[in-house]
């Protein structure tokens, strides 16, 4: 497997968390039973899932200011999860270059969301990336 597949699995898992009430650890174990990952991919999956869950509010603040004419609660849930994963990577995973994180987010958007979403997710994440670069 690859980080792309682990990222894809993290997206599916984080998306399902919004709709199920079981504890995250139980859901994780069941998810990984049904969608097995290689050991290295499990580490990446766990880093993304745990990080996005723990830093959700902080992550949302980072990208929300660039949602031109939109509010987060009006976005498709899958788009919110994609934005959260990418912004988490940009903020906390220095081994993932910003351009790779944005590119991977656009790939996920093409796969799971609408054609319209691709453009605004790319634009929002591009602005986040520029902001973070200027803060370094």
Determine the 3-state secondary structure of 90 from DSSP.
helix
pTM greater than 0.75 (yes/no): yes
Rounded Cα–Cα distance for residues 14 and 78 (Å): 9
Give all domains of the chain, ordered by start, each with its CATH number: 3-135 (1.10.940.10)
Q: What is the pLDDT of residues 98-130, one digit of tens each?
A: 999 999 999 999 999 998 899 999 999 999 999
1 burial via Cβ count (<10 Å: 0-12, 13-18, 19+):
middle
Low-confidence ranges of the chain (pLDDT < 50): none
Among residues 80, 94, 93, 92, which one has the least CA distance to residue 125? 80
- φ, ψ at 13 (rounded to 5°): -65, -50
């Amino acid at each position: 497997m690859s980080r792309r597949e682990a990222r894809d699995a993290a997206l599916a898992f984080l998306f399902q968390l919004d709709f199920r009430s079981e504890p995250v650890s139980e859901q994780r174990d069941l998810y990984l039973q049904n969608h097995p990952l290689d050991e290295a991919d499990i580490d990446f999956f766990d880093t993304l899932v745990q990080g996005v869950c723990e830093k959700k509010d902080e992550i949302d603040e980072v990208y929300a200011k660039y949602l031109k004419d939109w509010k987060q609660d009006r976005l498709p849930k899958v788009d919110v999860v994609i934005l959260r994963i990418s912004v988490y990577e940009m903020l906390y995973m220095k081994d993932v270059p910003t351009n790779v994180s944005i590119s991977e987010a656009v790939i996920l958007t093409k796969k799971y969301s609408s054609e319209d979403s691709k453009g605004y997710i790319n634009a929002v994440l591009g602005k986040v990336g520029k902001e973070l670069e200027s803060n370094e």
